Each structure stands twice: as structure tokens, then as C-alpha cells.
Chains A and B, each alone.
Chain A
Amino acid sequence: MTIDVSIVEKDYHRYVLRKILFIVGCAIAMILVLGYAATIGTSGITAWEVYRDIFYHFVDPSKCDSEIDWVVFTVRLPRIMTGLIAGMSLGVAGAAMQSMMKNPLADPYTTGISSGASFGATLAIVMGFDLVGLGGTAGLVVTAFVFSLIPAAVIILVSSLRNTSAATMILAGIAVMYLFNACTTLIKLGASDASLSAVFQWSIGDLSGATWQSFYVILVFTVIGSAVLMAMSKKLNILITGDKSATALGLNAHRLRIMLLAIISLMTASVVCFTGIIGFIGLVAPHIVRIFLGSDNRYLIPASAAFGALLLMVADLISRVIIAPTFLPVGVITAFIGCPLFLYLLIKQRRSMW
């Protein structure tokens, strides 16, 4: 069967357009969820008032209703925007980690980031250990951040001493994870009930403690990390062809994997230290995107950013309304909505993506 080059061009452009429309669709959905999420709470403001306030807050603050502006910008948006940027970060980190490890089971925590962060947080909460002497939440955040990077640093060190495959990196990550989990358990053995409860609260992943400060810190890591990963997306496409092919195509697979691991770890650590361990987003968001758009990292990474953000914003919204006026931790909801959605798509999809 012969087909003309113009047909291939037309089909390919349509295929790219579909990917771009998916990303735009997610962005629009994010704006709608943001508007609705900001109306949830005790002060009854409408979505229209939220959008109006956000617009005038930046364009002409004198036209803002001060009470609405306070509710939107001081109470509601820090949490919503932290959810948006954290979801974005986890989505991008998950997509890049799966591609670089050539493993559909990989997620941002594959190399033991969560266990390192948990250990750091447990040290801070139970033993009052504070790396920088800031004390309180800031001390906890910095300690969790630094410890979350240790597993990745160990893997990078091991990989630098010897050329390692993706599978070896995952195994090294699992080994370090077990070690940190054991250390965390040891510390917990001597902890008080109050400390144990605080450690538990931290570990389940929650956005209720989000502030503009946490948003800005995650934002910096996410924007820089995502931009670098986007620039490397075509190299990721080469990497998924296998190490031999990648080498023959002029790419040092080993060195690239170490670089990617460092970037992904910094992005994920910046989220984990503020929100605790929010599971599922980094694993499922890239896979759901793959079902719709395929595995081309040039589009998978931005689409996973948009879809990850949307998924976490929706999960957070549900966590706030499902048993209002109290709320559930968002980590629970991400699994509750992510799992059935993912299983449904796995059953419905006609072709295998992995």
C-alpha cells in the first residue's frame, strides 16, 4: 500500500494538534477548578467574584473588595496554588523518571526520596533535630528537604563509581529506602504519642499547611526543573530506545541519567518537604497522559505537568468538601480518584502503552 508524503504530513500535524489541545484543555480545566475551589469555605463568595478579585488584584487593586481579597489571597489561593504547582512538579518528575528508568512502575519517589524525607521529618518532629537551627516548621522543612536528597546522592555516587543501568539505579534506590525506613522505625520506637501522631500527619500528604512561601519555593524548583526537563525531552526520547541505541545515537546514557536524577530529586524534594508524601500523582498522571497522547516526551512532559496539576487540584477540592467542614488528607483522595480512573482507562484502552 502506497501513501503520499502529504498524507503523512497531514496526519502528523493533526496528531500534534491533538496533543496541544489536550494541554490547553487541562489548562482551562485548571482555571475552572481554581475558581470553584476558591469558593469552598465559610465565607460565601462566588466563582465570578474570585476571578474578578484575582483580575483586579493585579490590574487595579483599588477596585478589589478588601474582605474578598483577603479570603482569596490569604486563605484560599496559597493552598490551591501550592496544589497546582506541586501536582505539576510531581507530574513532570514522574514522567521523566519513568522515561529515564524505562520502567512504568517508576514514580518521583522510586529512588527513595520519600523515605529520606520521612526520616528527616521524623528526626525533626521526634528528636527536635534541626539542620539549620530555624526551628518550628521551617526547620522541619529544611531537614526533610536535605534528607530526601540523600538517597539520590547515594545512587549518584554509586553510579559514578561504576556504570550502572536503570535497573541497578532502581535497586540501589530500594536498598537505600529500606535503610531509611528502618532508621525511621527505630526513632519512632522511642517516640511519644503526640510525636507519633505528628509524624503520621506529616507522612500522609496534605496541603492544609500551604503558604505563599511554600508556593514560591516549589514554584522556583518546578519552573527551573520543568524547563530543563523540557529541553531534555528529545534526549529522553533517545534514552527510551535503550542504552545501546542511545550510545550509537551519540548520547551518554549513563551521564544523562545521573543529571536527570539530580533534577527530578530536587523538584520532588521541594514538594515533599512542604506537603509530605502525596502518592499516585507522579505515577498515574504520566500514564493517563500516555493513554491519550502516546509516549513522546516532547509532549508527555508538559501534558503531565498540566494533568498532574489538575489531578491534585481536583483531589484537594474533593478532600475539602467530602466531609466538610473538616477535610481528608489529599494523599488519600489522590489514590481514591486516581486508582479507579486509571483502572478504567487501562481496561478501556485499545492498545498497550508499556
Chain B
Amino acid sequence: MKIDLRELEFGYDRENPVLKDISYTFDKPEFVCIMGPNGVGKSTLIHCINKILKPTGGAVLVNDKDVTEMKLKELAANMGYVPNATEDSFPLTVVDTIMVGLQNDYKFGTSDEDLRKVYDVLEMMSIEHLAMRNFDELSAGQHQKVMLARGLVRSPEVVLLDEPTSNLDIKHQIEVTKVLSRLPKEKGMMIIMISHDINITAKYADRIIMMHDGKIFAVGTAEEVLTKENLKTVYGVDADIVIHNGRPHVILNDTVDSGKEL
């Protein structure tokens, strides 16, 4: 699948655009991480790709077709999504929560084949023991793993993930990121994930998109993007970069405006 962002713009009002002139093409199975400070437009960018938001300028083309002209069903058929917060107001069991992700294949009755698909993603996330638990009985980290399983259950060509590891402890963050990083090679999937953890991203991402002020500031491998200057400009932090096992490792020292009142 090819996702083409052409001079993409989005704003809730004309005076304060969130996204400005974003152009980029996702065209191969890769593990791409989108980074940037809070409020820079990372989630907005993802929401413009899967039509949750309608761009106010430019276009998002999926396989050369404008998403605004595509039916939601058609777009969702090959595009998974993992939100950063769960909204399930009436909780289902974990199996049923994931089953919802089967979309068109989600039937009234549940076949053993569907259950096996669900079991496979539960196993991938190491949460098969939670299968029959109610969603609201789980911890925040377990919620995220269930949401990940729901986004992956159909093995879509593209999966968009909005900070899927923010509630996980460090061990589970590494485990989940490792699983996601393998999917492009093992299943040919394109994984586009928003992440705030610089070092885990540096270790596993094939490509990093760094955003600043509603625009793409830098794109490339971890070595190319995670530089002292970029981190200073985008995040306002002073950091040292060391190379560890062939990947950059960021050691944060202080904020560049240290001493200023918050």
C-alpha cells in the first residue's frame, strides 16, 4: 500500500493550523515512528490518514486515491488503528473487544476460525490468559495490549498506532515495540507509530519522522534524525548522543531553558 501526503494541512480554525504543508510518501513495509513534542500534530496527522479528520488543505492519497473520496469501509479494510485512549463505555470481554476489529468479517455468530484469529493476536501480545476477562477489569497496560491486538487482528497492510506503549512498563514497552518492528519483515505490514520514547524508537525504528511546529522537521534513520541539534530545536533539551550496538542512544542532560519558571 502507498500513502501519499501532499501538502497536507489541517486546522480547527484558519488562524491556528495544526498541520502545515506536510508532504511525505509511505510506500514500503517499514516500522516508521513519528516523534515530536506534545501538540505538534502527530495524532492529527494519523487521523487525517484514516479519515477520522478531514484535511483542510492538500490531500492524503491511498494507492493514488484521495481518502476523502474513499468509503470508510474501503479505507478501513486494509488499515488498522490503535487509539491512544480507550473509550469502551460498556466493556466487552477481551475476546469480543478484539473480535470487533474483524470489521467486515465480524459476524453475528462466532466461528472457531474467528476465535483462532483472535487467539493468534492474543498470543502475539502474550495476553492469551486474559481472553475471557472483562475489558474493564484489566490494567491500563493490559488495555493497550488488547487495543494493539484489535488493531492487528485482521493483519491489515497498514497499522496506525497512536502512542500504543504509553501505559506499559519498560519491559512490556520493549516487548511490544519488538513485536511491531518485526511485522514489516515477517508479514509485509507498514507500521506507523507515534512514540515519545526516544531510545526505544532509536533501537527499533526503520525510519523516524520528527515533527516540529506542525511540519515535518526531519526524516531518516535514527542516526540521521536523532542528533543533538535536532533534539535541541524540536524538544528544547540538551542531550548527548552515544552510539550503542550500532544505534544512537540519547542521554538527556537538561532543558535548554533550564532555570526558567514553568
Interface residues of A (CB under 8 A from B): 1-3, 5, 8-9, 11-12, 15-16, 98-99, 102-104, 233-234, 237-238, 240-245, 247-252, 290, 294-296, 298, 351-354
Nearest 4 CB-CB pairings of A with B: A242-B87, A250-B76, A248-B81, A295-B90
Question: CB-CB < 8 A to B134: which residues of A?
Answer: 294, 351
Task: Tell me which of B72, B87, B107, B118 contacts A245 (CB under 8 A).
Answer: B87
Q: Using A2-B128, A249-B101 as known contacts, say yes or no to A352 and B88 having CB atoms under 8 A apart.
A: no
Q: In the complex, what's the smallest C-beta–C-beta distance from B69 to chain A, in angstroms?
A: 15
Task: Tell me which of B71, B100, B116, B136 contacts A241 (CB under 8 A).
Answer: B100
Q: Looking at the complex, which of B8-16, B46-54, B57-65, B211-219 is the stretch in contact with chain A? A: B46-54
Question: CB-CB < 8 A to A238: which residues of B?
Answer: 100, 106
Task: Tell me which of B76, B83, B110, B136 contacts A12 (CB under 8 A).
Answer: B110
Question: CB-CB < 8 A to A250: which residues of B?
Answer: 71-77, 103-104
A12–B90 contact, CB under 8 A?
Answer: no
Question: CB-CB < 8 A to A98: which residues of B?
Answer: 90
B129–A1 contact, CB under 8 A?
Answer: yes
Nearest residue (CB) in A for B126 is A2
Task: Tell me which of A3, A99, A244, A248 contacts B131 (CB under 8 A).
Answer: A3
Complex Cα gap A9–B117 (Å)? 11
Q: Which of A1, A242, A244, A252 has the most CB of B within 10 A?
A: A244
Question: CB-CB < 8 A to A243: which residues of B?
Answer: 87
Task: Tell me which of B88, B108, B131 contacts A11 (CB under 8 A).
Answer: B131
Nearest residue (CB) in A for B112 is A9
Instruction: List B residues 134-150 near A (Cβ within 8 Å).
Output: 134, 136-137
B96 within 8 Å of A (CB atoms): yes
Q: Using A234-B106, A244-B52, A250-B77 as known contacts, say yes or no to A102 and B87 having CB atoms under 8 A apart.
A: yes
Interface residues of B (CB under 8 A from A): 47, 50-52, 71-77, 79-81, 83, 86-93, 95-97, 100-101, 103-104, 106-108, 110, 112, 115-116, 118-119, 122, 128-129, 131-132, 134, 136-137, 160
Question: CB-CB < 8 A to B112: which residues of A?
Answer: 9
B129–A2 contact, CB under 8 A?
Answer: yes
Question: CB-CB < 8 A to A290: which residues of B?
Answer: 90
Q: Using A3-B128, A3-B131, A12-B132 as known contacts, say yes or no to A248 and B90 having CB atoms under 8 A apart.
A: no
Question: CB-CB < 8 A to B83: which residues of A?
Answer: 242, 244-245, 248
Q: Using A8-B95, A12-B110, A233-B108 as known contacts, say yes or no to A248 and B50 having CB atoms under 8 A apart.
A: yes
Question: CB-CB < 8 A to B74: which residues of A?
Answer: 250
Pick 16 A–B contacts, CB within 8 A, sort by A: A1-B129, A2-B129, A8-B115, A9-B112, A103-B89, A237-B96, A240-B90, A241-B86, A242-B87, A243-B87, A247-B50, A248-B50, A248-B76, A249-B103, A250-B72, A296-B96
A240–B89 contact, CB under 8 A?
Answer: yes
Complex Cα gap A104–B81 (Å)? 26
Complex Cα gap A238–B52 (Å)? 15
Nearest residue (CB) in A for B77 is A250
Given contacts A8-B131, A247-B50, A295-B90, 9 further A-B contacts (CB under 8 A): A240-B92, A241-B97, A243-B87, A247-B51, A249-B101, A250-B75, A294-B93, A351-B136, A353-B90
Complex Cα gap A259–B256 (Å)? 54
Complex Cα gap A248–B71 (Å)? 11
Task: Tell me which of A99, A241, A248, A353 contacts B79 (CB under 8 A).
Answer: A248
Complex Cα gap A110–B119 (Å)? 39
Question: CB-CB < 8 A to B73: which residues of A?
Answer: 250-251
Complex Cα gap A301–B79 (Å)? 30
Q: In the complex, what's the smallest C-beta–C-beta distance from A98 to chain B, in angstroms?
A: 7
Question: CB-CB < 8 A to B77: which residues of A?
Answer: 250
Question: CB-CB < 8 A to B96: which residues of A?
Answer: 237, 294, 296
Q: In the complex, what's the smallest C-beta–C-beta distance from B127 to chain A, in angstroms?
A: 10
Q: In the complex, what's the smallest C-beta–C-beta distance from B177 to chain A, in angstroms?
A: 21
Complex Cα gap A99–B122 (Å)? 26
A353–B91 contact, CB under 8 A?
Answer: yes
A5–B116 contact, CB under 8 A?
Answer: yes
A354–B90 contact, CB under 8 A?
Answer: yes
Q: Using A3-B131, A244-B47, A352-B136 as known contacts, say yes or no to A15 and B93 having CB atoms under 8 A apart.
A: yes
